[in-house]
A and B are shown apart, each in its own frame.
Chain A
Amino acid sequence: MSKVRVLVGTRKGAFILTSDGKRDKWEVSGPFFAGWEIYHMKGSPVDPDRIYASQTSSWFGQILQASTDGGKTWFQPGVKPEEAGPPAFPAKISNRFVYDTSDATGKPLTTHQWYDGTQHPWEFKRVWHLEPSLTDAGTVYAGVEDAALFRSADGGESWQELSGLRGHGTGPDWQPGAGGMCLHSVILDPSDPQRIYIAISAAGAFRSDDGGASWKPINKGLYSKYIPNPTAEIGHCVHHVAMNPKRPGVLFMQKHWDVMRSDDAGDNWTKISGNLPTDFGFVIDIHSHEPETVYVVPIKSDSEHFPLDGKLRVYRSRTGGNEWEPLTNGLPQSDCYVNVLRDAMAVDTLDKCGVYFGTTGGQVYVSSDAGDTWSAIVHDLPAVLSVEVQTLA
């Protein structure tokens, strides 16, 4: 019987929630890396027991963790304690992310726009998102703050920047959003191994059609009234982008304000907010089997990051946008003032699509019927930063 494994990153550690295909009884393991911020965890589609985790701390910086047994045990790639002892300086260092400024492989790009409009040095802060390759368990991409995309081809032991992204021309005009200048969405196209989508807050969405060597902004149709030129090529605060792998050319986006879709691989975007009560939000995801069924969690505003009227409602569109219905069954409908952060929603691939999301209040909710009814798997975790789900045979 199929199983699901939910990978939950929180402000104070990682948790793994497992269940059979019914998704009504859950085992909770963790905390792993207790006390550390776990920005994201994700398993390899090639080898689901290979999981990567981004462990961070304001005090101690970035740590990259990996597991090859489904999250039971963890190690820092390239660092084996049994091999420690002088001289043990590793040639490869899993937590070293160095921006490429070389003339040969990158561009000498060293600054971006700061909040006050001045130029500011590019400084690595943390890994926001890890995206394992669709074809090789040892290859993984990392979206980082300050915004850049890195790739490891040795299981996370060492990282190289795909510097064509920062160097394509608009980099000096990128600027941080309130949460920092983070590259948070990394989408690999299963139909075209050369195509990668990424999104940055607050620069916008970008696409590569040559495996990450070169990039172009894909923000036509976005309108952001809070920037000097609301239809600028870059500068949009994209919060999250999602794609159903069965229909790779169609993208859905939750922008700072506005829910958007593109039917041409990001070349053009159309607003699909429709009847949403507010179109501010962070998460967006798509039903595994119905590519026109989309989920968002509307948040009141950019000034008040909690649900409208204290009612936690997922909104579902079965028409690819514009027409939305509130999903409330099992969700708190009074006095709820949590947020749902950008990487904290996921879907499984079971016959009846499961939808999952985590809140800053520490709840992880599941719906095993595509959103009709919800229940909390856990109530009292630390604030949830990310949720991913693996469907296991």
Chain B
Amino acid sequence: MAGSQPNSAPFVRVQLPYHLRNLARIDGEVRLEVAAPVTIRTVLDALEARYPMLRGTIREHDTLARRPFLRFFACEEDLSLNPPDDPLPEAVAQGKEPLFIIGAIAGGSR
């Protein structure tokens, strides 16, 4: 697996919610090459470059603000409110733990 190869950038693992996996025609986890620094912004940049159909679904066009009903979790921490340029936990950068993009449990009235 590429994440364990010496002298190459580890793969960042991303878990997407069901509807975004369907939209991007993805089965399972996404593995992305992300050059340092590994941040929410650089991971999403890489994700949207590989899956352009996801643009606008996780963060807004132009402002790149996180959509209100999505949250970012990793290593049992809620990273949603962290600045997007903050480094992600080392375990995420090293591909040992995934970054979870999760739909908020809200909107059940419909």
Contact = CB atoms under 8 A, between A and B. Distances in A.
Interface in A1-34: 11
A98 B70 CA distance: 22
Nearest to B102: A59
Contact of B57 (A37, A60, A90, A383): A60
B19 A60 contact: yes
A93 B55 contact: yes
Interface residues of B, number: 29
Nearest to A383: B110
Contact of A89 (B20, B52, B103): B52
B2 interface: no
B53 interface: yes
| Band of interface residues on A | 20 to 34
A58 interface: yes
B70 to A, nearest CB: 6
Chain B contact residues: over half helix, strand or loop, or mixed? loop
11 contacts: A35-B19, A58-B107, A59-B67, A59-B69, A59-B70, A59-B107, A60-B20, A85-B49, A87-B49, A89-B49, A90-B52
Chain A contact residues: over half helix, strand or loop, or mixed? loop
Contact of B61 (A36, A81, A98, A383): A98
Contact of B52 (A36, A57, A59, A84): A84
Given A86-B46, A86-B50, A93-B61, A57 B19 contact: yes
A95 B56 contact: yes
Contact of B51 (A59, A63, A84): A84
B97 interface: no
Interface of A: 11, 35-37, 57-63, 76, 79, 81, 84-90, 93, 95-96, 98, 383
Interface in B16-47: 17-20, 23-25, 46
A229 B103 CA distance: 44
Scoring B24, B48, B55, B104 by chain A CB atoms within 10 A of each residue's CB, the highest score goes to B55
A355 B106 CA distance: 37
List 8 A-B pairs, minimum CB-CB distance, nearest first: A60-B57, A59-B69, A79-B53, A86-B49, A59-B103, A96-B61, A95-B56, A90-B52
